[in-house]
A = this chain, B = another copy of it.
Amino acid sequence: MIAGIELGGTKTVVAIGTAAGDVQEEWRFPTTAPEETFSRAIDWLNERGTPEAIGIAAFGPLGVVPGRASYGKLLATPKPGWAGFSITDTLATAFPQARLTIETDVNAAALAEARLGAAQGLDDVAYITIGTGIGAGILSGGHLVHGALHPETGHFKVPRKPGDDFPGVCPFHGDCLEGLASGPSIAARWGKDAAELPADHPAWETEAWYLAHGVLALLGIVSPSRVIIGGGVSQAEGFHEKTERILNQIAAGYFSPIEAKPYIVPPMLGQQAGIKGALLLAAV
């Protein structure tokens, strides 16, 4: 039996399925304390059989590099009770024979979209999500990028849109990409949530400017074949096209990958990306 667990900040999904990412049965429930959350997932799995492999997609910061002491643990998260909790130890105790693979939620979603969704068949893919924060999962040459910790793609700096003097909302950096373009920054900048702003509101030109500069940095550093932008804030009509138009202007013909059109696309797997990614991880 192949199992997947998607641990989100507010909801958890546990599923059984195939190593090809097909969900056979799943259960969604609210994320509560770590012991309770995993005890519920473990009980649900036990009722269905004995998993030989479990893929886990979890919120972070998270130890994802095998062989390090931090592997499988939640790190310095502000979420009460979770910092230091070992997901892999908990699951290994319950299922000592199961092969465990753990990744960040964004990397799992990137993998799922690259295997089954909006970037099917591509080995170099970036999946950006814009919501409360900005994060990215990156598949490079078929390998998920971890680095020394894992990427924190929202926290580098891009040039200001001319005339924009909004200070940004990131408590660490003020005007990093996340500080200038996350959901909370839109709400603070325009006095309304992103979902309430019509597609022709100038907010979207500003948002697309910052995302295009973030994608340009991705192009310069990991050269993805396609970039997926998802998350609540990305759902305004025409947002992907607007971002791609600005990207083409600032790239100035230099980067051949963006000649594949469309280059910036929405995700295809929606709410299923995380759990499908978890099942795919179990197969690795």
Partner of A141, one of B143, B222, B250, B254: B143
Given A146-B124, A159-B159; A153-B221 close (CB under 8 Å): yes
Partner of A173, one of B148, B221, B225, B252: B252
Report the Cα distance A281→B145, complex, angstroms: 21
Instruction: Specify the chain B residue showing the minimal Cβ separation from A222.
Output: B147
Report the Cα distance A150→B225, complex, angstroms: 11
Given A140-B140, A143-B143, A160-B159; A149-B256 close (CB under 8 Å): yes
Contact B216 A218 (CB under 8 A): no
Partner of A257, one of B136, B147, B253: B147
Contact A216 B157 (CB under 8 A): yes
Residues of the B chain whose Cβ atoms lie less than 8 Å from the Cβ of A154: 220
Instruction: Specify the chain B residue showing the minimal Cβ separation from A174.
Output: B252
A22 CB to nearest chain B CB (Å): 28
Given A173-B252, A217-B217; A147-B140 close (CB under 8 Å): yes
A5 CB to nearest chain B CB (Å): 23
Contact B173 A254 (CB under 8 A): yes
Residues of the B chain whose Cβ atoms lie less than 8 Å from the Cβ of A141: 65, 143, 145-147
A144 CB to nearest chain B CB (Å): 8
Partner of A159, one of B158, B172, B216, B252: B158
Contact B224 A147 (CB under 8 A): yes
Contact B160 A148 (CB under 8 A): no
Question: Does A156 interact with chain B (Cβ within 8 Å)?
Answer: yes
Report the Cα distance A257→B9, complex, angstroms: 24
Question: Does A151 interact with chain B (Cβ within 8 Å)?
Answer: yes
Question: Does A219 interact with chain B (Cβ within 8 Å)?
Answer: yes
Question: Does A243 interact with chain B (Cβ within 8 Å)?
Answer: no
Residues of the B chain whose Cβ atoms lie less than 8 Å from the Cβ of A225: 147-148
22 chain-A/chain-B pairs, Cβ below 8 angstroms: A140-B146, A141-B146, A143-B143, A145-B221, A145-B223, A148-B223, A148-B224, A148-B225, A151-B222, A151-B223, A152-B220, A152-B255, A154-B220, A155-B255, A156-B216, A156-B219, A157-B217, A158-B158, A177-B220, A217-B221, A218-B221, A221-B221
Interface residues of A (CB under 8 A from B): 65, 124, 136, 138, 140-141, 143, 145-160, 172-173, 177, 213, 216-225, 250, 252-257
